[in-house]
């Protein structure tokens, strides 16, 4: 009988579950987690601490925020130590608020075993994708299947060229299920695909539509500055975005400025499987600093909250498309200088910019680029008193200041 293997996933549907943040060392410096996703042993010194990103129910098995690196309770680590001692490195860690021991599980085995023909779809990095170091590796693998004959004696491993995937043997799966390990989810990667020919064709069409939109946006972003390679995405995706994926890109601009843009509000509506520009817009927020840690900075937090409102409410999108539009979002975690007495932060959308285009072209149509300007509390008071005329006056004064669309946490109000 052929051996069975399973992809080990983080169960994001556990009610009230926690989310773990990036680990830090004893000096408070972030650990280079990419070293633990390469399928080889890593040298880690001193005490490692893992903060909580989203408080909630603690789990036996969790993946770090934005990284395919497991953090497990000691009892789960014991299973891997017993059944796959040559495939893992166990690194003790302290999880914020937990008195019991946890372990960062470093998978040290990589196996070249993805079955391209049996998998639903595989795509490779190409020269034109602009990341030559990844040439020949997988850019995406949908409905992954592996060839068990190529696994050898590995019990847990990452798949070569697609190290995001963690695969375990049936014996490990059964052991974790018997103990009732929380947070685990298993997806078989051996045997016949359960996807029909019709579903496979639909998935292929979806990928083609989204990839075309990606390429067109990236072309536009590169005209605005130096585009970071990293794509930011939340832990849990939302179905309110046209392509059912929330993405953000970072563009490094002149004078040390950082421009953040949404990268998906103009995706085609994936349910329709036809070319479109989705909501027909993307949002842009620029700050006057070279933000290093984008994922924890306030600009991305603010842009994410504004984007959620735009994606979830049609009336908001229509007002944004019509011209200047102001709105308020939660000020939790944002700079105090921007937060009102009610705990909110106001923004003005659609302020014209001398250095950013108002539109850009894609094969599916024109997309509007909408600027997001963070307002000071006194400027919000002015808006509430003067309505649409106040919006226009603020935009005029911002233009006079030479920082029409630029967002600052500290500046003088223009009213």
pLDDT confidence of residue 166: 96
Q: What is the mean pLDDT of residues 256-277?
A: 94
pLDDT tens for residues 357-405?
999 999 999 999 999 999 999 999 999 999 999 999 999 999 999 899 9
Pair 110, 196: CB distance under 8 Å = no
**Could you say which DSSP state residue 149 is in?**
G
**Percent over 70 (pLDDT), the chain:** 97
- Say yes or no to pLDDT of 267 above 90: yes
pLDDT for 236 equals 47
Mean pLDDT, range 251-260, rounded to an integer: 93
- Checking if the pLDDT of 1 tops 90, the result is no
**DSSP letter at 297?**
S
pLDDT of residue 2: 74
Average of pLDDT values for 48-54? 90
Proportion of the chain in helix, strand, coil states, percent, rounded to 5? 30, 30, 45
Name the 3-class secondary structure at 393. Answer: helix
User: H/E element holding 81?
Assistant: helix 74-83
Instruction: Note the pLDDT tens digit of each residue in 17-34.
Output: 999 988 888 887 887 777
DSSP string, 213-277: HHHHHHHHHHTSSEEPS--B--SS--TTSTTS---EEEEE-GGG-EEEEESSTTS--TTTTS---
Question: Residue 23 CB: number of other CB atoms within 10 A?
Answer: 25
- Tokens, residue 125: 């990095």
Please check the confidence at residue 75 and state whether its pLDDT lies above 60: yes
Distances (CA, A) of 275 to 129, 147, 221, 358: 21, 36, 21, 22
Higher pLDDT, 186 or 136: 186
> Taking 80 as the threshold, does the pLDDT of residue 282 lie above it?
yes
Residue 305 pLDDT grade (very low, low, confident, very high; cuts 50, 70, 90): very high
- pLDDT attached to residue 206: 87
Check pLDDT > 70 for residue 5: yes
Whole-angstrom Cα distance, residue 168 to residue 186? Answer: 9
* pLDDT at residue 133 is higher than 80: no
Q: How far apart are CA 331 and CA 128, in angstroms?
A: 40
Q: Residues 140-185: pLDDT tens digits?
A: 888 899 999 999 999 999 999 898 899 999 999 999 999 999 999 9
Over residues 187-194, the mean pLDDT reads 85
Q: How far apart are CA 359 and CA 64, in angstroms?
A: 37
pLDDT at 271 over 50: yes
More confident residue, 33 or 286: 286
Provide the pLDDT confidence category of residue 45 given band limits of 50, 70 and 90: confident
pLDDT given for residue 346 in this prediction: 97
Could you tell me the CA-to-CA distances from 383 to 328, 373, 398 in Å, in that order? 12, 14, 14
What is the DSSP secondary-structure string of 177-215? HHTT-TTEEEEE-SSS----HHHHHHHHHHHHHHHHHHH
Strand partners, 286: 259, 406
Task: Of 380, 281, 381, give the one whose Cα is nearest residue 323.
Answer: 281
- The mean predicted confidence, pLDDT, of the chain is 90
- The more confident residue out of 60 and 208 is 60
d(CA 287, CA 60): 40
Q: Distance between CA atoms of 222 and 206, rounded to whole angstroms?
A: 24
Q: How confident is the model at residue 355 (pLDDT cuts 50, 70, 90)?
A: very high
Closest CA to 404 of 381, 371, 370, 369: 371
Compute CA distances 248 → 204, 229, 234, 279, whole Å.
Answer: 23, 11, 9, 16
For residues 186 and 6, the answer to whether their CB atoms sit within 8 Å is yes
User: How far are the Cα atoms of 18, 180, 183, 191 from residue 13, in angstroms, in the given order?
Assistant: 11, 16, 9, 26
194-203: pLDDT as tens digits: 677 787 788 7
How does pLDDT run across 94-125, given as a tens digit for each residue? 999 999 999 999 999 999 999 988 888 888 88
pLDDT at 231: 78
Spatial strand order in the sheet of 156-159? 110-111, 156-159, 162-169, 5-10, 184-188
């Amino acid at each position: 009988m052929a051996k069975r293997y399973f992809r080990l996933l983080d169960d994001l549907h556990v009610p009230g579950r926690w989310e773990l943040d990036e680990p830090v060392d004893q000096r408070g410096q972030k650990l280079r987690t990419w070293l633990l996703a390469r399928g080889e042993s890593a040298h880690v010194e001193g005490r490692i601490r893992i903060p909580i990103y989203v408080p909630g129910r603690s789990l036996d098995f969790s993946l770090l925020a934005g990284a395919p690196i497991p953090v497990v309770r000691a009892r789960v680590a014991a299973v891997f130590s017993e059944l796959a001692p040559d495939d893992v490195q166990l690194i003790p860690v302290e999880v914020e608020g937990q008195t019991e021991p946890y372990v960062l599980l470093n998978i040290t085995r990589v196996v070249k075993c993805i079955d391209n023909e049996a998998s639903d779809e595989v795509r490779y990095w190409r020269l034109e994708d602009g990341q030559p170091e990844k040439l020949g590796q997988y850019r995406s693998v949908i409905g992954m299947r592996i060839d068990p004959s190529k696994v050898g004696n590995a019990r847990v491993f990452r798949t070569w060229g697609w190290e995001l995937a963690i695969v375990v043997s049936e014996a490990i799966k059964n052991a974790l299920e018997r103990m009732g390990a929380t947070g685990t989810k298993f997806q078989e990667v051996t045997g016949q695909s359960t996807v029909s020919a019709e579903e496979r064709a639909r998935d292929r069409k979806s990928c083609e539509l989204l990839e075309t939109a990606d390429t067109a946006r990236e072309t536009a972003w590169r005209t605005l500055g130096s585009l970071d390679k990293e794509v930011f995405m939340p832990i849990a995706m939302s179905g309110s975005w046209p392509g059912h994926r929330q993405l953000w890109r970072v563009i490094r601009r002149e004078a040390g400025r950082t421009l953040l843009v949404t990268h998906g509000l103009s995706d085609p509506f994936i349910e329709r499987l036809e070319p479109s520009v989705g909501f027909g817009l993307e949002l842009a927020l620029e700050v006057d600093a070279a933000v290093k840690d984008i994922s924890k900075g306030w600009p991305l937090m603010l842009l994410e909250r504004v984007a959620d409102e735009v994606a979830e409410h049609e009336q908001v999108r229509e007002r944004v498309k019509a011209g200047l539009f102001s709105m308020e979002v939660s000020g939790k975690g944002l700079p105090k200088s921007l937060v009102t007495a009610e705990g909110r932060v106001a923004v003005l959308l659609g302020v014209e910019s001398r250095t950013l285009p108002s539109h850009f072209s894609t094969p599916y149509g024109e997309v509007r680029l909408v600027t997001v300007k963070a307002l000071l509390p006194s400027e919000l008071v002015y808006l509430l008193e003067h309505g649409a005329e106040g919006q226009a006056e603020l935009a005029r004064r911002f233009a006079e200041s030479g920082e029409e669309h630029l967002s600052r946490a500290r500046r003088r109000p223009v009213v």
